[in-house]
């Protein structure tokens, strides 16, 4: 069972989602505007938010941006918009999944289950340690040699995913799927975030300490070699 917030202004769709999700043993609350959704999320804890984009007071993409400013709750976009560029933009902006209407409640339930499995596995993780790098997944805090790192949400997600697999080369396609929650895209997005993350770890692609890129294969994280010079992290 999960606590679900349905953000949908179409009363017919909203009622159907509430009925079917309740029948599936979920605890469901619903609102019809973005501002109501923000108030609900700020006051109550939810396991997942199902967010429509065509809201009467504020576009759902703006609502997503505001949600990400106050919470890391998984968000599944549910909308009639099927433009690929829009889907990529919203996934990069922090959505965890994207469903195009019309869809079956069974399809939504399966997507919710997948998102919740990832979220609960993350929450159950212990502090990850790679050399002098400590990543507390539940608190969403990272520190290098005792100094707290100022990371964006996506930078933290990327670092945590790699830190959970020290020494293992992770393919770029897997990073897109598991960190960006999308099955398509180009390598530029990954390269940009890796560059920002390296800067904050006090290293460069030419002189890596923790993050190592294997051209044409993927990326791995591992402790610096003994005697390697320490970089100056950006805070």
What pTM does this model have?
0.55
The predicted-structure confidence for 68-121, as pLDDT tens digits, reads as follows 888 888 999 988 888 888 888 888 888 889 998 888 888 888 888 888 877 766
Rounded Cα distance between 232 and 214, Å, is 24
For domain 3-123, the CATH superfamily is: Response regulator (3.40.50.2300)
Query: If 0-12 CB within 10 Å is exposed, 13-18 middle and 19+ buried, where does residue 11 land?
Result: exposed
Task: Note the pLDDT of residue 121.
Answer: 60
Quick one: tokens of 196? 């920002």
Pick from 49, 67, 50: nearest CA to 58? 67
- Average pLDDT estimate for 187-197: 88
Listed by start position, the domains of the chain span 3-123, 126-221
Question: Domain 126-221's class?
Answer: mainly alpha
Sign of CA dihedral 81, 86, 87, 91: negative
| Structure tokens belonging to residue 209 | 């300490």
CA-to-CA separations, 132 to 35, 48, 150, 214, 230, in angstroms, rounded: 42, 34, 16, 22, 10
């Amino acid at each position: 069972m999960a606590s679900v917030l349905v953000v949908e202004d179409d009363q017919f769709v909203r009622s159907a989602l509430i009925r079917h999700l309740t029948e599936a043993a979920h605890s469901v609350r619903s609102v019809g505007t973005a501002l109501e959704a923000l108030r609900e999320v700020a006051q109550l804890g939810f396991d997942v938010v199902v967010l429509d984009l065509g809201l009467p007071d504020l576009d759902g993409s703006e609502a997503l941006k505001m949600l990400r400013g106050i919470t890391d709750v998984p968000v599944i976009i549910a909308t009639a918009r099927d433009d690929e560029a829009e889907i990529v933009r919203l996934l990069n902006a922090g959505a965890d999944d994207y469903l195009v209407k019309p869809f079956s409640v069974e399809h939504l339930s399966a997507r919710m289950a997948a998102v919740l499995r990832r979220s609960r596995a993350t929450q159950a993780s212990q502090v990850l340690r790679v050399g002098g790098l400590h990543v507390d997944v539940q608190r969403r805090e990272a520190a290098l040699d005792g100094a707290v790192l100022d990371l964006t949400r996506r930078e933290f997600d990327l670092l945590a995913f790699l830190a959970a697999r020290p020494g293992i080369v992770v393919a770029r396609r897997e990073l897109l799927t598991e960190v960006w929650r999308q099955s398509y895209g180009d390598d530029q997005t990954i390269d940009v975030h890796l560059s920002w993350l390296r800067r904050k770890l006090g290293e460069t692609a030419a002189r890596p300490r923790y993050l190592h890129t294997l051209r044409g294969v993927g990326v791995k994280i591992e402790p610096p070699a003994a005697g390697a010079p320490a970089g100056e992290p950006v805070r």
